[in-house]
Structure 1
């Protein structure tokens, strides 16, 4: 276990004027509070915050952050309080410790919703002070290093969470070395067999190529120094097991097919020297085509800068090279921790991280997406989409650089520019050519979005896009569009209900009644009526508590038939007393009935399974979360709703003369089971200008088959004409309309 003086010495090596008293006080306080607590390994608990602090000293962080690392578990696991820490160490350190405490209350949970809420709280805490992230990542790294003392189930659960969230989050913040170690430690517990196999193969390869890395380093260094880059450093290493395994999986390669297991970094003084080194290397060795990337001119979103190339280098070995300056190397290794954002007296000219840095821009966009997701699970999904994707860089017509995940489409591009542009997108030009919206963008593409003011994002776009922001915005727009449809239907239902009760409907009149209806606002209440969750009669009674709904009771007749009548509120009641014929003859085509047109894309009105066609006598049934379902009056399923009169809605057709919408109807045919029967029936259907949407066929006797056809027709007249023609076929025994 590290000693107190060793920790202080580590900090003073890179910051001689560090506040030694603060570090000593934090150490003593943490030691006293944790007391005799033990870790699962049996070590004193204080060893954990000490090791977390030691990890942060490797990043050369200030003494305040080191103190937070020492204290980060005190509020959570001891009798320490926020007020006590504020008094001893100041509000700044107290806020950071409490932020980490709130996170740990939900840490390492199994339920997806709680894991998502944990991530939400983590990012919100980071938005106040990014040091929360640095301490959290160091905390997770030490926990992963000491995971062997946990049960196998817990090891796997913690490793999966680390692989899903913390490792990619470290990568997005530019902390590549920490990301790689977190991934390898997680890989070891998630897939131990694969980890052992890859590790063994890498070990065998290292034994066979003993001295190869050193040889290549020396040859590269000598070449660069001979060409005038005297201060150039060359560092080589074998790739990590998880990196090798991921490449084997993503490219479907065997271990023997991997040709770039070794990677080398060339570190020089400045940017001009980077490109000079690149020219020297490319002049000396053959370049592998398609393997060059310039992240100096176009940095990654996490501020990473470097030139990547692959060459067939010394000993005919294919190797990857990363060429960067020393400043770039610090950022590549330590990410946001390499910036002097937290050091007093520094400004942007001295390397401090600008608030406009790419890493913070990504973090802000991710946190903004909190408002887009309907729930914590959606937020987790959006964040994972952002974390895991590699990037492509595209441009607006004005030259603005837009970084997107690999595989992104013009729709993702539009939403990356602005949500409103994505919502109104109808087309795209890529490099001046009109291209489909499903086109995958490539590095360097110039994208121009074509917009329309009447566009609403189709729900199918959600399956096309790859960015969390686009997916969240499409879901939000889809929910808003459906809510608007239900609200429109609810408004029409309420207008008719109030009118038939002799009352005037207005939105303002609903305000005082919202609490009685259990609704937050007027639009929610109206949309609930449209969805069938709230009865229009309940709204009427809530607005006018003294209203008396008069209903007529009719004694049953001997024929056990049914007859149709309206209440003052306009609902269709089915009461015993008349023949079925009188029901069918009842007038419901007047202006009081709710008019419907074509239902294409209409979320709040649906037909029953057997359909209905213009000319049918129809009624509507309110169904929760589906709005109105329309049935022909002959449908036997309506009997299920006899005891629920408030769910009945009077419906009438309202079609233009130029109607070009077909409607579905179902018929059943008993026909001879002989060759040519189906062909004859199909020929009649086609000749009658109708279409078979669906067909089911089964044998009911040795010589007869039953055919159930779902047909698309213009109206009832056309359907009846078709049925008459089918009856005349010699192969048809019986035919009937199905109303189920």
Structure 2
């Protein structure tokens, strides 16, 4: 059983005696606070915080982190408050403990919501102090090591959470040793039989592989000497349990196929020696085409640096070789915790790894601010935790890391949220590129923006980064809210006119009384309800007129002015597909619950039953500055001849219009009919397109149709 004295002895190698004494004081305080408490294994509870501190000590963490490890469950499991802890041990330690502590004072719908809320709280604490996540990872690692006494259901839930969140975080922060152990322990808990079988197969294969591993190690070490590379360590490395399982599953390979690939690591004293070693390896064994990556020149997003190459060794076996310096090796194993010497001004002078970690955590905060709930937040975070990276370049040559499958829209949001929101197109390698097409490593990307642009709902179908998804959703919801308020206010003004009232004639007290009667918190919510069609403006106006004991004068309906549409309300307005109204058409709006205002042409046959309904039928007009694309349906009668469809399509394109859909059928041996849906800006634009079509010799007749 570990003891605090054994821990203190280990800490003497890198901490001052007064700091070790403070850690021991935290231990004795925690021992007293947890007195009488037992773990599921029936051991004294203090065993757990001491084990967490030992894990952090192996990472050479600072004294405050170790004190927080000793105290990390005190706020959850004892009456101790954060304020009292700050008085006893300082605000730094209290903040760390509070960041790791769960939200025990709230009730949750289920475990999923509880986990999401707790992770959201921890993410905010991580933004202030990176050590929060290191303490939490050490806490989770010891909990995973001691899962055995728990019930199967709880064991699997904790293991799944570990694979979904904590192991990927460890990977993102470059803490490879903890990540591998977390994955192996979680795999064994979720799939015990599979883990046992693969583990047994590894043990059996190890004996058969020993001779080949020794042979390759000797050959590599000899070649390093021949190339005058001193101080090199060469050793075979074994794939970890979960990594083997994942490769078998993803690549649909058998265990033998995976184990037929041998892995070696070469650790040198300098970067220069790494490249010398690469030359030595390639001179000894033939490299495999497209299996080379230089993460020294272009580090991974978590700061990982190494050269990866795959070569064909003795008897045709594949050998994966990693080449890195000793510092890079320490970084690969311990990530942001490597050589952690915490100082008060650490935030001003972070290491490159810590700076990268902070940038990632800041992006988490941005996602958190834009998410509607903790569940949505954690789903976005999960996307960002599993990046198979690509590296692309800005026009100025700056390298950007993105997940594989990322599109130009993801790139735009990675640069800045405002760039993403105003994106209209892009150039990739100086060529126009579809916004939905994934990028590849090495691409140079330039985003084209305009001030009038806005995110498109369709982008959510192809963006892959959590930041892009949350930013698009946040923007669309905020704009949706603003536009529904705007159109709702207009509809209420219109409805009040029908009763001879105006907004100005109603006092603040009268509005407050109406809101109270309708059980609404504010006028903004009332406008939104009307704009979205969940509440009728006519009914609200009528209720207000009754409240004021006001009767509409005769003929008021005829004097009410139509509602003007500016074109910015496209997110909340629905344009009827039956008649496809475009700016310039006489129009009316039909209020439909859940759909808001549906815009029809005045002569549309589908609205005959609503024309006399003052509650649901609203007279509208287009604003003079109405903009945007609208679609119109045309029927074109043409002489049947070769190339006629191509001529029609070319004429429409030269008229500044795009074709959405097209359908052609023969009416007889002489005449064919083309039905086409085109994008136009207004009625004048449509007339220009139709005139161009009528000039074609093969066109007999062109006219607009309703569906």
By the TM > 0.5 criterion, same fold?
A: yes
Contact 2:538–2:615, Cα closer than 8 Å, also in 1: no
The CA distance in 2 between the partners of 1:470 and 1:45, in whole Å, is 43
Structure 1 residue 231 and structure 2 residue 199: aligned?
no
Task: Describe the shift of the 1:484–1:74 C-alpha distance in structure 2 as closer, same or farther (beyond 3 A).
Answer: closer
Residue 385 of structure 2 is aligned to residue 387 of structure 1: yes
Aligned with 1:467 (options 465, 468, 475): 465
- TM alignment of 1:79-94, pairs within 5 A: 79-94=79-94
Partners of 1:225 and 1:231 within 8 A in 2: no
Structural mapping, 1:257-296, within 5 Å? 257-258=257-258, 261-296=261-296
Q: 2:421 aligns with which of 417, 420, 423?
A: 423
In the alignment, which of 573, 585, 590 is matched to residue 620 of structure 1? Answer: 590
Contact 1:531 1:624 in 2 (8 A): yes
* Runs of 5+ unmatched residues, structure 1: 553-565, 571-587, 665-680, 694-713, 715-738
RCO (CA 8 Å, sep 6+): is it higher in 1 or 2? 2
Q: Are residue 117 (structure 1) and residue 117 (structure 2) matched? A: yes
Gap change, CA 1:516 and 1:601, over 3 Å in 2 = closer
**CA distance, structure 1, for counterparts of residue 536 and residue 413 of structure 2:** 39
Match of 1:648 in 2: 616
- Report SS of the residue matched to 2:301: coil
Identify the residue that residue 527 of structure 2 maps to in structure 1. 526
Q: 1:598 to 1:177 in 2, by over 3 A?
A: closer
Aligned partners of 1:456 and 1:511: how far apart in 2?
38
Q: Is the 8 A contact 1:599 1:606 kept in 2?
A: no
Deviation at 1:228, TM superposition (A): 2.2
Change (3 A) 1:567 1:247: farther
1:381-440 residue CA offsets vs partner (Å, 9 max, x unmatched): 211111011111111111111110011111111111112222222222211222222222
- Of 494, 498, 523, which residue of structure 2 is paired with 1:496? 494
1:221 aligns with: 221
1:155 matched to 2:170: no
Contact kept? 1:611, 1:663, Cα under 8 Å: no
Q: 1:179 matched to which residue of 2?
A: 179
> In 2 relative to 1, CA 211–60 (structure 1 residues): closer, same or farther, beyond 3 Å?
farther
- Counterpart of 2:452 (choices 447, 451, 454) is 454
Q: 1:528 Cα shift?
A: 2.6
Structure 1 residues 376 and 521, CA gap change in structure 2 (3 angstroms): same
Give the match for residue 47 of structure 2. 47
How far apart are the structure 2 equivalents of 1:359 and 1:260?
36
Q: Measured at CA, do residues 140 and 347 of structure 1 come closer, stay the same or move farther in structure 2, by a change above 3 Å?
A: closer
In 1, the alpha carbon distance for the partners of 2:386 and 2:123 equals 16
Q: Can you list the C-alpha shifts for 1:214-243, whole angstroms capped at 9, x where unaligned?
A: 443333233323432221112322101211
8 A contact 1:76–1:101 mirrored in 2: yes
- The equivalent of 1:372 in structure 2 is 370
Q: Show the counterpart of 1:661.
A: 632
> Secondary structure at 1:80's aligned position in 2?
coil
Deviations 1:325-368 (A, max 9, x none): 1111111111111143514698988xx52597222211111212
1:477 and 1:57, CA in 2 relative to 1: closer, same or farther beyond 3 A? same
Q: In structure 2, what is the equivalent of residue 136 of structure 1? A: 136
Shift of 1:163: 0.6
Aligned to 1:703: none
Q: 1:146 Cα shift?
A: 0.9
Distance 2:181 2:12 in 1: 26
Give the alignment's Cα RMSD to 1 decimal. 4.2
Max radius of gyration: which structure? 1
For the residue of structure 2 that corresponds to 1:291, the secondary structure is strand
Asked if the contact 1:412–1:466 (Cα under 8 Å) also holds between the matched residues in 2, the reply is: yes
Deviates more, 1:228-237 or 1:391-400: 228-237
SS at match of 2:7: helix
Q: How does 1:487-566 map to 2 (within 5 A)?
A: 487-505=485-503, 513=511, 517=515, 523-536=524-537, 547-550=548-551
Aligned counterparts of 1:646 and 1:333: Cα–Cα separation in 2 = 71
Provide closer, same or farther for how the CA distance between residues 106 and 131 of structure 1 changes in structure 2, counting only shifts above 3 A.
Answer: farther
Tell me, in whole angstroms, the C-alpha distance in 2 between the residues paired with 1:233 and 1:410: 42
TM superposition shift of 1:539: 6.0
Paired residue total:
640
Partner secondary structure for residue 401 of structure 2: strand
Following TM superposition, by how much is the alpha carbon of 1:653 offset from its aligned partner in structure 2, in angstroms?
8.4
For residues 342 and 171 of structure 2, the distance between their equivalents in structure 1, rounded to whole angstroms, comes to: 21
Q: Which residue of 2 aligns with 1:407?
A: 405
Point out where structure 2 has 5 or more consecutive residues left out of the alignment.
636-664, 678-685, 687-706
Q: Secondary structure at the match of 2:451?
A: coil
- Equivalent residue, structure 2, for 1:309: 309
Deviates more, 1:14-23 or 1:72-81: 14-23
Pairing 1:321-360 to 2, within 5 Å after superposition: 321-343=321-343, 353=351, 357-360=355-358
- Contact preservation (8 Å) 2:75, 2:97: yes
Alpha-carbon distance in 2 for matches of 1:168, 1:373: 21
Q: CA deviation at 1:532?
A: 2.3
- Structure 1 residues 701-720: aligned runs within 5 Å: none
Q: Do the aligned residues in 2 keep the contact of 1:224 with 1:230 (CA within 8 Å)?
A: yes
Q: Which residue of 2 aligns with 1:582?
A: none
